[in-house]
Every structure is written in C-alpha cells, then in structure tokens.
Amino acid sequence: MDVLMPQLGETVSEGKVVTWFKSVGDQVKPGENLFEIETDKVTMEIQAIEGGVLSEIRVPVGEIAPVGAVVAVIGNGGTAAAPASAPAATPPAAAPPPSASTKSAAAAAPPPAAPAPRASGGPLDPYFEVRTPSRNYGPAEIRGVKVTPLARRLAVEAGIDLGSVRGSGPHGRIVAADVKTAPRAALRAPAGPSSAEILALYRDVPHEEVALDGMRRVIAERLQQASQTIPHFYVTTDIDIGALTRLREDLNAAAPRDKDANPAYRFSLNDFIIKAWAAALLAVPAANAVWAEDRILRFGRADIAVAVALEGGLITPIIRSADAKSLRVVSEEMRDLAARARARHLKPEEYRGGSSAISNLGMYGVREFSAIVNPPHGTILAVGGARRQAVEKPDGSVGFASVMSVTLSCDHRVVDGALGAELLAAFKAIVEAPARILI
C-alpha cells in the first residue's frame, strides 16, 4: 500500500520528513512508528496503518512533500488472495468484436491481450468486501461550488487552493481539467532580491548559513501573508498595574505549602493578563471575532493564543475557554503548554484556532511594541514591561505608579477603530480593578 504524507489540517499543505524509523526491506507492523515529519511548528511521529515490508522510500530525510503525496510503499510480502479461478488472463490470438449482422464486419485490429489485473490491495475482509480509499480529499463543496472527487484529489496532490479555481463543469462544477489548468498558488514569490543575489551581496562577509526548518518556513509564510493581506491598525494605552501587582503578591503569599515548602501555585503576571484579556473579549463580544472571507465569525467564549518563544522561533498554544477557567487552571495549563511548546510536542489542535492572541515582551525590558495579527485571529495584544512613572494624584500631588504599555493590533476588516479602542479600554478597566476578573 502507498504511505501518504498525512493531512494535519486544512491550512497545512506540506511536510518535511525528518526521520525514517524503518529502512527499505524492514518488516513493518501496523501501529509501529514509521517516520517522523515536521509540519508547521511541530514534529510528529506517523504510525504505519498496515503491516508488510517497507519496499520503497520515495521521500528521504530532509525532503519536503505535499500532503497526500506518496512518501513510501509497503508491500504485502506475498501475493494477494485471488478467487478460485485466479485472474491471470490468457490473451486471445485475435477476436474482432462481432457486429449485429451474421457475418462480422471487416476485421478490426485485434484487441489487445487482456491486461494482467492490477495488483489488488490484499485479501478482502468478508465483512466489508471492498477496499475503500483510506483518506479523503476535502469537502465536495467549497464556498458553494461543487467539485468532482477527481478534481479534489488532483487539487490536494498539486497543492492548489480550490477557492481560486473556476469551474467549467455543469452548474459551475469544478472538474479535473479545471484543476489541471489552474495556476499554482504562489505564496512565496517575494518581490525582493533573490536568494542568489543576497548570497552574492554577502559573499565576502563571514557568515553562517542557517537552514530553514518547518517552523521558520511557516512563520515566514504566514506572517508575510498576514502583513500583506490584513489591514492592520494599532491602538496603545498605558495601564496602572499597581492593584494587579498587589493582588498577585497577596495570592502567591497565601499559597498553601506542602511538607517540602513548595507552593501549591505560583501566578505570573501573564496569567492575570490572560484572564483579564479573556474578560475583556467577553465584555466587548463584537471584537471577539475573526474574518472568514465572506462572513465574520463571532465567538461566545475566549480562546486565547499565547505566544511562547522557542529556540529558533515561536509558537502560540491556545488556552481554550480562558474566560471560564479559574486563574489557577489557566496558570497550570499555560505552564504545561509552554513546556511542551519548547519541547516541540504540541498537537496541532493545541495551536490551531482561537480568536485573539497575546504576546508579552515585557521581560526583555521592552516598553511597547506592535505585533502582527496571526491569521485568522481578529486581534493581538502586545504587552510591554512595567516601569515606574511619575503620575499626578487626585489631590494634585505627584506620586509614582507602576505602568505597563499595551498595544492592540486589529484586523480592520472585522474590528474597527472605535471597537478596538473599546476593547482596549475594557482591558484597562479590568486590570486596574482586577477583582473584575472574578466576574
């Protein structure tokens, strides 16, 4: 059977093989790890579905293949069971097809020898008696346009986005010919200098070449696309985090300790920021939304992606329903996700989705910055570091406060200026009176 590059989500179009656990000629059992791929920002082990002998590796270590491509072949190791009269055809010498009249018409060219039946997929299951294809190739209808099964398969195999293909079949149906003649979606044709030109520019400057891994590729592609296609605008505000800081200290001090004096919990400032952001999104539900090309999707819960820096890149694991989870649950989840993110052991469903993101560079001394919206999110909140600042007190005297600057980046297609400002104001109000997180 053919071993395919697995599909790991609708927006993933290819993967890189990083490890083969078996060599050609090895016996493979169903369920055994067969190869490891790098796709998006994680590496994943892929198990063999059927057993047999690994007869061919088509995509070696280090190479990239599109989703659905054949990466290897597992053979049965023996002949497939055939029915009682084995279908090994005996070719006829010549037998022109008879016509309706009593004598045959002028002898046509002899038909070809009956072809040997193509290799079947193995013995049939008496309860199923067919060899149904083991994978699908996407929905039958894309944005109201029907697509034939063959066209769907060809599109996936060629990496073509059916949304951009015009259908020539009945009722505008997309047929195979339409996919075959569609131009390949070119996502990474930069307008700037080519790789060769840049290398030439730095030829005489000592440098190290760093190969692009899957994560780097995806970051490059995704964010370039985001910055090119999403109409960004930015809203900044300063937030007095005195009350939040005191709350955090109080809660951490009150943590019960076990017999080794380890605290049951330890909250970071970011934990509170996540909870406050969740509360803000729910307070301004129109801003808890994403752009879906021909419509807007608005959510009733806050799934928040939180940027985690990794060696060589970053990834944004998602806290689902952050609004409904306690501070403690959010804190523990965040700790777990961050650890697994750094170990590159996140599952796709753990970093796909969400409506908004948070990026915090405060620990680096950054005062403020603007982040790029991660599609398909509607917003991303960039959090800077805390600083002491002189402020005017209500009685007119001067005092000092701990202040943090945050910048909200918005996709103007779904969040307009006033709405973005409203969202940010809601966040500020919650942080400055942090008991509101409890509501």
Partner 1 sequence: MAKKDNGGSTAAAPRPAVNDDIGEATRLRMYRTQVVIREAEQRAFDLFLQNLVKGTSHLSLGQEAVAAGFAAAMQPGDLSFCTYRGHAHTLARGVSIEKVLGELMQRDNGLMRGKGGSMHLTSEKDGVMGSYAIIGAHMPIACGSAWRAQYKGDKDVSVCFFGDGTTNIGAFHEALNFAAIWKLPVVFVCENNLYMEYTPIREVTAVEHPAADRASAYGLESIVIDGQDADVVYRTAQKAYGKARAGEGPTLIECMTYRYSGHSRADPAKYRPPGELDYWKNERDPIRIYRERLLQFGIPAATVDAIDDEVKKAVDEATEKCKAAPPPPAELLTRDVYADGGWAWRN
Partner 2 sequence: MAELTYRDAVTRAIAQEMERDPDVVFLGEDVAKAGGVFKTTVGLLDRFGPQRVRDTPISEQAILGAAMGAAMTGLKPIAEIMFSDFFAVCYNYIANEFPKHRYISNGQTKCPLVVRTANGGAARFGAQHSQSVENWCMIIPGLKVVAPSNSRDVIGLFAAAVRDPDPVIFLEHKSLYPVASEVPDGEIVDTLGTARIVRPGKDATIVALALMVPRAVAAAEKLAAEHGIDCEVIDVRSLVPLDTQTILGSVGRTHRLFTVEENPRLCGWGAEIVSIVADEAFYELDGPPVRITTPHIPLPASDVLEDLAIPSVDRIADQVQRTLNA
Positions that interact with partner 2 (CB under 8 A): 82-90, 92-104, 107, 111-112, 114-115, 117-118, 120, 130-133, 137, 148-153, 169-170, 175-176
Q: How far is the CB of 79 from partner 1 (least distance, A)?
A: 11
Q: Confirm or reject binding of residue 117 to partner 1 (CB under 8 A).
A: yes
* Residue 361 and residue 383 in contact, taking contact as beta carbons nearer than 8 Å: yes
User: Does residue 141 sit in helix, strand or coil?
Assistant: strand
Location of structure tokens 């991303």: 380
Location of structure tokens 């400002």: 421
* Residue 331 and residue 323 in contact, taking contact as beta carbons nearer than 8 Å: no
Report the 10 Å Cβ neighbour count for 169.
Answer: 16
Is the Cβ of residue 64 or residue 177 nearer to partner 2 in the bound state? Answer: 177
* Residue 269 and residue 244 in contact, taking contact as beta carbons nearer than 8 Å: yes
Query: Which part of the chain contacts partner 1 (CB under 8 A), choosing from 123-131, 211-219, 233-241, 248-256?
Result: 123-131
User: Does residue 202 sit in helix, strand or coil?
Assistant: coil
Taken as a whole, the chain contains a residue count of 439
97, interface contact from partner 2, partner 1, none, CB < 5-8 Å by kind: partner 2
User: Does residue 234 sit in helix, strand or coil?
Assistant: strand
Q: How far is the CB of 111 from partner 2 (least distance, A)?
A: 5
Could you tell me whether strands 379-392 and 356-360 are parallel, antiparallel, or unpaired per DSSP bridges? parallel
412 catalytic residue (yes or no): yes
Q: How far is the CB of 129 from partner 1 (least distance, A)?
A: 7
Is the Cβ of residue 126 or residue 190 nearer to partner 1 in the bound state? Answer: 126
Q: Confirm or reject binding of residue 124 to partner 1 (CB under 8 A).
A: yes
Q: In this structure, what token pair is assigned to residue 233?
A: 């605008």
Is the Cβ of residue 123 or residue 172 nearer to partner 1 in the bound state? Answer: 123
* Residue 104 and residue 98 in contact, taking contact as beta carbons nearer than 8 Å: yes
Query: Which part of the chain contacts partner 1 (CB under 8 A), choosing from 75-83, 143-151, 338-346, 380-388?
Result: 75-83
81, interface contact from partner 2, partner 1, none, CB < 5-8 Å by kind: partner 1
Annotated active-site residue in 171, 207, 345, 412: 412
126, interface contact from partner 2, partner 1, none, CB < 5-8 Å by kind: partner 1
148, interface contact from partner 1, partner 2, none, CB < 5-8 Å by kind: partner 2
* Residue 213 and residue 310 in contact, taking contact as beta carbons nearer than 8 Å: no
End-to-end, the C-alpha distance of the chain in Å comes to 56
Q: Which phi-psi region, left, alpha or beta, contains residue 68 (left: φ > 0; alpha: ψ -120 to 50)?
A: left
Q: How far is the CB of 48 from partner 1 (least distance, A)?
A: 25
Q: How far is the CB of 134 from partner 2 (least distance, A)?
A: 11
Q: In this structure, what token pair is assigned to residue 312?
A: 């060589």
Q: Confirm or reject binding of residue 82 to partner 1 (CB under 8 A).
A: yes
Q: In this structure, what token pair is assigned to residue 391?
A: 């402020």
Report the 10 Å Cβ neighbour count for 307.
Answer: 19
Location of structure tokens 């989870």: 325
Location of structure tokens 């990496």: 159
Instruction: Count interface residues toward partner 1 (CB under 8 A).
Output: 12
Is the Cβ of residue 99 or residue 227 nearer to partner 2 in the bound state? Answer: 99
Residue choice 84, 189, 253, 418 for contact with partner 1 (CB under 8 A)? 84
Residue choice 87, 98, 111, 172 for contact with partner 1 (CB under 8 A)? 87
By CB under 8 A, name the binding residues for partner 1.
80-84, 87, 117, 120, 123-124, 126, 129
Name the residues annotated as catalytic.
412
